[in-house]
């Protein structure tokens, strides 16, 4: 399923975008105004998993799009739940009626599309007499969605929050563009990679991260950085010379506080000019970099030996 993300305040773009796993890759979809209005009115928010039927309707009608190549278009609405195919909708009747109504009002639809959407609006949202709730509907019976904590979701939560915390700092501070020269950027890239990996893993679990977070709360062994404090007081990053640089945030009120591992320390900031003059110990370099340097040195020594032998 696709997951809805909100652009960071520091980003030049505003609003939302979708990310979905496709053929082993993670595809980013742009969400223009109409699609954003539809998703928000259906009750979705940042980090929510979008019902597949909603995603495919938006994609089929070109209300969302991607600039990445190799993604096959959704050519029809044949797979939507209807009363005829006995498929169960993830949305409530009111949500489906709203979705179809706004599409009829705002879109120039073909006769076939109107027929498919009308059948979808009239589809059943019950099975064996039991209401099927959507991802974002309130659990009216107060039954728990998750029997206990899930390690994948706890790790996913930490990775998402670390990226939320570090990305604004990397965008506002004058740091090297090479992760090997910036501990701050390296830590962000690591968090983003882990987040994308766990996004794929999370698909095997019911509901989404927001539902899990609302029900299970904060995992043990973490430190909570309150969004109000980050917005008002900011976060101070050490520069390595005894000074600090403070970054303030603008986290929306509806978003969660940020959780980080309890033993996590704020990575130091090294400016681009500092990185050009600093002495780096060979043992402190990443293993891959050490291997590349050793191979280069071997080639240089071998070349010198060949030249020496040729001159004898």
The answer to whether position 146 is within a domain reads no
Is the pLDDT at 244 greater than 50? The verdict is yes
Is the pLDDT at 253 greater than 90? The verdict is no
d(CA 58, CA 70): 18
The last residue of one of the domains, among 80, 99, 131, is 131
Q: Which of 106, 125, 19, 21 is nearest to 61 (CA)?
A: 106
The pLDDT of residue 136: 42
Residue with tokens 């670390």: 162
d(CA 22, CA 71): 8
Please list, residue by residue across 169-182, b when 16 or more beta carbons sit within 10 angstroms of its beta carbon and e when fewer do. Answer: bbeebebbeebebb
pLDDT tens-digit series, residues 216-233 = 899 999 999 999 999 999
- Please tell me which residue, 53 or 136, carries the higher pLDDT value: 53
C-alpha angle 110/79/117, rounded to 5°? 35
Is the pLDDT at 31 greater than 70? The verdict is yes
Q: Mean per-residue pLDDT for 96-106? A: 90
| Average pLDDT in the chain | 80
Instruction: Tell whether 273 and 287 lie within a shared domain.
Output: no
The answer to whether position 144 is within a domain reads no
Is the pLDDT at 249 greater than 60? The verdict is yes
Question: Which secondary structure element, helix H or strand E, spans residue 245, and what is its range?
Answer: strand 244-247
The answer to whether position 143 is within a domain reads no
CB 193 within 8 Å of CB 211: no
pLDDT band at 132 (very low <50, low <70, confident <90, very high): very low
pLDDT tens-digit series, residues 256-306 = 899 999 999 998 887 655 544 445 566 666 676 677 678 777 777 777 776
Number of other CB atoms surrounding residue 10 within 10 Å: 14
The pLDDT of residue 268: 86
- Please tell me which residue, 224 or 170, carries the higher pLDDT value: 224
- Residue range(s) defining the domain that contains residue 289: 283-312
Q: Which of 10, 43, 44 is nearest to 18 (CA)?
A: 44
Instruction: Tell whether 190 and 208 lie within a shared domain.
Output: yes
pLDDT tens-digit series, residues 9-21 = 777 788 899 999 8
Instruction: Tell whether 99 and 155 lie within a shared domain.
Output: no
The pLDDT of residue 312: 62
Instruction: Tell whether 274 and 287 lie within a shared domain.
Output: no
- Please tell me which residue, 276 or 99, carries the higher pLDDT value: 99
Spatial CB neighbours of 97, under 8 Å, sequence gap ≥ 6: 121
Instruction: Tell whether 165 and 270 lie within a shared domain.
Output: yes
The answer to whether position 139 is within a domain reads no
Instruction: Tell whether 120 and 168 lie within a shared domain.
Output: no
Is the pLDDT at 62 greater than 70? The verdict is yes
Instruction: Tell whether 174 and 265 lie within a shared domain.
Output: yes
The answer to whether position 145 is within a domain reads no
The pLDDT of residue 278: 47
The pLDDT of residue 71: 80
Instruction: Tell whether 7 and 122 lie within a shared domain.
Output: yes
The answer to whether position 18 is within a domain reads yes
The answer to whether position 138 is within a domain reads no
Domain count for the chain, please give it: 3
The answer to whether position 78 is within a domain reads yes
29-38, 67-76, 119-128: which has the minimum mean pLDDT? 119-128
The pLDDT of residue 128: 33
79-83, 192-196, 206-210, 293-297: which has the minimum mean pLDDT? 206-210
- What angle separates helix 33-41 from helix 52-60, to the nearest 10 degrees? 160
pTM, to two decimals: 0.52
Q: Which of 95, 98, 167 is nearest to 138 (CA)?
A: 95
Instruction: Tell whether 9 and 104 lie within a shared domain.
Output: yes
Question: Which secondary structure element, helix H or strand E, spans residue 232, and what is its range?
Answer: helix 227-232
Instruction: Tell whether 58 and 122 lie within a shared domain.
Output: yes
pLDDT band at 84 (very low <50, low <70, confident <90, very high): low
Is the pLDDT at 60 greater than 80? The verdict is yes
The last residue of one of the domains, among 131, 165, 182, is 131
Instruction: Tell whether 263 and 291 lie within a shared domain.
Output: no
Instruction: Tell whether 229 and 304 lie within a shared domain.
Output: no
């Amino acid at each position: 399923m696709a997951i809805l993300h909100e652009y960071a305040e520091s980003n030049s773009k505003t609003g939302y975008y979708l990310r979905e796993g496709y053929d082993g890759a993670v595809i980013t979809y742009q969400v223009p105004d109409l699609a954003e209005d539809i998703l928000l009115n259906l009750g979705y928010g940042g980090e929510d998993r979008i019902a597949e039927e909603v995603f495919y309707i938006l994609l089929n009608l070109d209300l969302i799009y991607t600039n990445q190549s190799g993604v096959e278009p959704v050519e029809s609405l044949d797979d939507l739940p209807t009363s005829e195919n006995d498929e169960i909708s993830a949305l409530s009747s009111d949500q489906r009626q709203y979705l179809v109504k706004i599409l009829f009002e705002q879109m120039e639809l073909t006769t076939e599309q109107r027929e498919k959407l009308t059948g979808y609006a009239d589809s059943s949202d019950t099975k064996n007499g039991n209401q099927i709730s959507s991802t974002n509907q309130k659990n009216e019976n107060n039954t728990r969605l998750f029997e206990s904590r899930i390690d994948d979701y706890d790790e996913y939560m930490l990775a998402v929050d670390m990226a939320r915390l570090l990305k604004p700092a990397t965008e506002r501070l004058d740091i090297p563009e090479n992760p090997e020269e910036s501990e701050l950027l390296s830590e962000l890239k690591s968090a983003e990679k882990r987040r994308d990996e766990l996004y794929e893993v999370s698909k095997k679990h019911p509901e989404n991260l927001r539902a899990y977070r609302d029900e299970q709360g904060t995992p043990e062994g973490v430190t909570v950085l309150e969004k109000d404090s980050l917005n008002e007081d900011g976060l101070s990053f050490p520069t390595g010379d005894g000074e600090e640089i403070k970054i303030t945030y603008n986290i929306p009120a509806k978003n969660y506080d940020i959780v980080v591992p309890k033993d996590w320390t704020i990575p130091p900031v090294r400016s681009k000019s500092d990185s050009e003059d600093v002495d780096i110990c060979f043992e402190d370099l990443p293993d891959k970099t050490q291997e590349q340097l050793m191979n280069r040195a071997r080639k240089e020594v071998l070349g010198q030996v060949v030249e020496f032998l040729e001159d004898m």
